[in-house]
Chains A and B, each alone.
Chain A
Amino acid sequence: MSWKQIATPILAIIAFLALWEFIVWVNGWPTYVMAAPSDLPAAYERYWKLFFVMGWQTLWRTVAGLLIAVVFGTMLGMLMGFSKLARDALYPLLVGFNAIPKATLVPVLALLFIGQHDFNTVLMAFLISFFPIAVSVGIGLSTLEPEYRDILGALGASKFTIFRKIALPKTLPEFFGALKVSVTLAFIGTNLVEIISPHGKGLGALFQSGATNGDYPLMFAVLIALAFLGIVLYYAVVALERIFAGWAEREAH
């Protein structure tokens, strides 16, 4: 990575914060209408311990949900990629499930698994994020050109060998593309539960307590912290992609 690649996004973020500050200043909004970036350091200073504890709670539950989504989504995608029957049967079901606003499921889960907040939260992160993975793996496998199968198939290689040596690595770029979408979705899932079904854990709970106390700077500070965690998770996926599917990246011309 060059200097320019690091400096460009940082400058963009600074420009964004400056614009935010400017709009609040021009309109003369007090903090109980809209907080400005300059109000946030005070909130971080005051609650920094809570930010760490609750940020960690949000983070681990998101990652746990995402890991389950990766395993389940990949298996579902394989099923749909290899079997046309499974594809025909499952697609409408999956699309329908994906279309349901997940916020509506929070109370359902909360009732089903009363009091098991960690479990509920991880489950929601998983439910909201497995769909892109399943679809992309499914499409990646079902659209494998027959020649790719034939170069090993003509030698009598087993289906599993063809999958391991060809289909799996060839699908990796699509998989990581989907994972980039899923990682943000899982994050949203975690926060949905934390905010809609308050149980005092995670950054969502911190946001709620800010709302209850009319502490606007705290609420905005939480939003920024969430954005920061989202960026960290996203780039963790990008790093993994570089390692495992770096071959798919082409030099920019």
Chain B
Amino acid sequence: MSPAPFFSTGRCMTPLIDIRGVSHAYQTKSGPLPVLDGLDLQVPQGAFCAVVGPSGCGKSTLTRLVAGLMKPDLGEVFLHGEKVTSPRKTVGMAFQNPVMLEWRSILENVMLPLEIVAPRMRRAEMVARAEHLLAMVGLAGFEAKRPSELSGGMRQRASLCRAIVHKPEVLIMDEPFGALDNFTREDLWQIMRDLRAAEPFTAVLITHDLRESVFLGDQVIVLSGRPARAQYVLDVDLPDDRSIDVLYEPKATNMLHVLRDQIRVAQGRDAGGH
């Protein structure tokens, strides 16, 4: 099922996300701290782009740039060939912290973006949309619960629903599964895969987990250490409806080895080291 978007989208050119020569530095007490240095990155429409890299290399900065929450010192970010200068309604975001509003029910949490993006939408429609998504992630029956009554994994599932409830073109995720245990994380990977099959969107996923990047990504970008640029791009040629088992097959394990080596390089250690 692929329902019509709630807002008009002018589809004209690929890539959907086009990051060109972006450099950025934060001003700190001990002088400027450059985090991105001439980063180039293209994500085609509908692609799932996983971004990995050493800690503190500017991955979160990247998400805020794409979301239009901040502007780079140098370079440009384009969505649909249009320069991003401010936040736009066609973006959805999810963070490591599921950021549930404790005073709202799960259903009302999921509906929140609709209240901003489509304020004139009928409430019954909003409810139906949110209920539909919650059912897809296995949270049917939990609509009226408060976030504090749910487990961390369930809250993160609701957070994903909220990130895509307004049918964004671009879903930006900053380590959304980072704080979960391994089994819950694998559950969520599969939920993510199914959501994407049901509701096409272009995704940028920041992660520390190489298996996650290979399982979910169409392409994996390895960022170098700070200040970061794109050091390596891996095309993941695995079937779209891949199962977790795929990760244990030679094709995937080879990719994981390649990524592992690239991370070592990014950390400033030799490839093939310990």
Given contacts A161-B116, A250-B148, contact A150 B89 (CB under 8 A): no
B162 in complex: contacting residue of A151, A166, A247, CB < 8 Å: A151
| Interface hit among A55-63, A75-83, A152-160 | A152-160
- Is A248 an interface residue when CB atoms closer than 8 A count as contact? yes
The answer to whether B99 touches A151 (Cβ under 8 A) is: yes
Shortest Cβ gap from A140 to chain B (Å): 13
Question: CA separation between A153 and B113, bound complex, in Å?
Answer: 10
Contact digits for A132-173, partner B, Cβ 8 Å, 1 yes 0 no: 000000000000010110111111110001000110011010
Residues in chain A near residue B115, CB distance under 8 A? 165
The answer to whether B87 touches A145 (Cβ under 8 A) is: no
Interface set, chain A 171-188, CB cutoff 8 A to B: 172
- Is B264 an interface residue when CB atoms closer than 8 A count as contact? no
Given contacts A165-B115, A247-B146, contact A155 B97 (CB under 8 A): no
Interface set, chain B 143-165, CB cutoff 8 A to A: 146, 148, 162
Residues in chain B near residue A148, CB distance under 8 A? 99, 101
Shortest Cβ gap from B121 to chain A (Å): 14
Residues in chain B near residue A147, CB distance under 8 A? 95, 97, 99
Given contacts A169-B103, A247-B103, contact A154 B162 (CB under 8 A): no
* Chain B residue at minimal CB-CB distance from A249: B148
The answer to whether B67 touches A169 (Cβ under 8 A) is: no
Chain B interface category by residue count: 20 to 34
Question: CA separation between A245 and B166, bound complex, in Å?
Answer: 28
* Chain A residue at minimal CB-CB distance from B172: A154
B95 in complex: contacting residue of A150, A156, A165, A250, CB < 8 Å: A150
Residues in chain B near residue A245, CB distance under 8 A? 103
The answer to whether A154 touches B99 (Cβ under 8 A) is: no
B97 in complex: contacting residue of A145, A154, A157, CB < 8 Å: A145
The answer to whether B69 touches A154 (Cβ under 8 A) is: yes
The answer to whether B102 touches A248 (Cβ under 8 A) is: yes
The answer to whether B116 touches A150 (Cβ under 8 A) is: no
Given contacts A161-B116, A165-B115, A250-B148, contact A154 B102 (CB under 8 A): no
Shortest Cβ gap from A158 to chain B (Å): 9
The answer to whether B91 touches A154 (Cβ under 8 A) is: yes
Given contacts A247-B103, A247-B146, contact A154 B112 (CB under 8 A): no
Residues in chain A near residue B86, CB distance under 8 A? 156
**Pairs across A and B, CB under 8 Å, 25 listed:** A147-B99, A150-B67, A150-B69, A151-B95, A151-B99, A151-B112, A152-B116, A153-B87, A154-B91, A154-B92, A154-B93, A154-B172, A155-B91, A155-B117, A156-B87, A156-B89, A156-B116, A169-B101, A170-B101, A170-B102, A247-B102, A247-B103, A248-B102, A248-B103, A250-B148
